[in-house]
Amino acid sequence: MDEQNGLESSQINQLLTLFRGVLNSRGLIILSKDGNVEFITQQAEQLLVSFFPTTISQANLLPHHLTKWFQFQISQPLESDDSCIYQTLKIEQGKQVLKIHLIPIPKSMGDNYYLLLEKKEKTMFSVPDLELLGLTHCEAKILFWVSRDKTNIEITKLAGISEGTVRKHLEHIYKKLGVHSRVGAVIIALEKLGILVE
């Protein structure tokens, strides 16, 4: 019996160690409904210091801009219990983007909120990058706007050309990249530029 309890205790300790490791590798903050920090992982602290270096004042408070965003989000009327209703905050810094997701904790577990912090590298490309793929400057501009989810009509206004010219450039892009669609062209461009790994 004691041997079994010792084994269970050892397994629990291993699970706790694993859980702590996972928790510290993620940017997680637990906030009270008034925005005070009740728990923060080391990763979240590092991300806050990195993206808000001059605004951290006290250990139990968020940076000012993040507090304002949080207060605005929770002040919005909730139409459902779906956590997707909150807008993700995106902060760009150099070649990195910090995404902050606000997730309410069910009322049965308290009046708290989770902030999940996720750092990503920017994965977009520029017109000169697209020219490296053998596209003309005009074709590269068209594909750049396509990657920004612009319609042919929107591209005509942005580029100052006719819709027929946009279609013709797209045909050339498809042929050069060996694809048959707008999505295919963007995916191949991302792959060839090393941004999207197969």
CB 44, CB 62: distance < 8 Å: no
The mean predicted confidence, pLDDT, of the chain is 83
Residues constituting the chain: 198
Q: For position 139, what pLDDT does the model report?
A: 96
**Binning pLDDT at 50, 70 and 90, where does residue 81 land?**
low
E strand intervals along 61-109: 89-93, 96-104
Which carries the bigger pLDDT value, residue 84 or residue 122? 122
Residue written as tokens 């997730």? 103
Q: For position 136, what pLDDT does the model report?
A: 95
CB 63, CB 154: distance < 8 Å: no
Q: For position 90, what pLDDT does the model report?
A: 84
30: left (phi over 0), alpha (psi -120 to 50) or beta: beta
27-121, CATH topology level: Beta-Lactamase (3.30.450)
**pLDDT of 151 strictly over 80:** yes
CB 65, CB 73: distance < 8 Å: no
- Asked whether the CA dihedral 119, 123, 128, 133 is positive or negative, the reply is positive
Among the four given CATH numbers 3.20.190.10, 3.40.190.10, 1.10.10.10, 3.40.220.10, the one describing domain 127-193:
1.10.10.10
Q: Which of 76-80, 89-93, 117-121, 153-157 has the lowest mean pLDDT?
A: 76-80
Cα-Cα-Cα-Cα torsion 14, 15, 16, 19, nearest 10 degrees, comes to 130
Q: For position 179, what pLDDT does the model report?
A: 96
> Residue 52: helix, strand or coil by DSSP?
coil
CB 35, CB 61: distance < 8 Å: yes
Among 91-105, 122-136, 157-171, which range has the highest average pLDDT?
157-171
State the CB neighbour count (10 A cutoff) for residue 27: 23
**Binning pLDDT at 50, 70 and 90, where does residue 118 land?**
confident
> What is the rounded average pLDDT of the residues 4-8?
62
**pLDDT of 11 strictly over 80:** no
Domain coordinates of the chain in residue numbers?
27-121, 127-193
